[in-house]
Amino acid sequence: MQNNKSKYQKMVEKSSPNTNLFLNCLNAFWSGGLICVIGQFITNSLLNFGCDLEISRTLTSIILIFIGILLTGFGIYDEIGKIAGAGSVVPITGFANSVAAPALEFKKEGFIFGVGAKMFIIAGPVIVYSTLTSVLVGIIYYLSK
């Protein structure tokens, strides 16, 4: 039986089409880059308005998050994601999408057990482990100083 299973596994691997790695990387590169260019454009515009660098960067993040959520609400962000892949998942707009999408989806279950409880089903692990990692890095930094 075990023999059959590994034989079948090989058959499946041969018969299942793979994702086109090169095309996916290419699409992620230009789309992710484009989002970064938009971010840089916003930062530069804010600097021209006379904001200092730190404030400009914070405002840029906030504006990109807003755009990500808005496009999620209009049902556009998932369409972008179909082509962009990691290009639209990795930037901060993708993080905004990962919070807004479940919030919209679970609204029917109410604001407490729906939106409130389910909002972070995708982003939750990212927040937990990035916080944990930052603590670890902080300790290493403290000890190495």
State the residues that interact with other proteins by CB under 8 A.
4-5, 8-9, 11-12, 15-19, 24, 72-73, 75, 77-82, 84-85, 88-89, 94, 97-98, 100-102, 104-106, 108, 122
Distance CA 111, CA 101 (A): 14
Distance CA 60, CA 92 (A): 10
Of 42 and 80, CB closest to other proteins: 80
Of 4 and 48, CB closest to other proteins: 4
Residue 27: CB minimum distance to other proteins, A? 9
Residue 43: CB minimum distance to other proteins, A? 23
Residue 125: CB minimum distance to other proteins, A? 12
Residue 30: CB minimum distance to other proteins, A? 15
DSSP string, 78-124: HHHHHHHTHHHHSSHHHHHHHHHHHHHHGGGG-IIIIIIHHTTTTHH
Residue with tokens 């990035």: 130
Residue with tokens 């944990």: 132
Distance CA 134, CA 139 (A): 9
Of 13 and 54, CB closest to other proteins: 13
Of 46 and 69, CB closest to other proteins: 69
Distance CA 136, CA 128 (A): 13
Of 43 and 106, CB closest to other proteins: 106
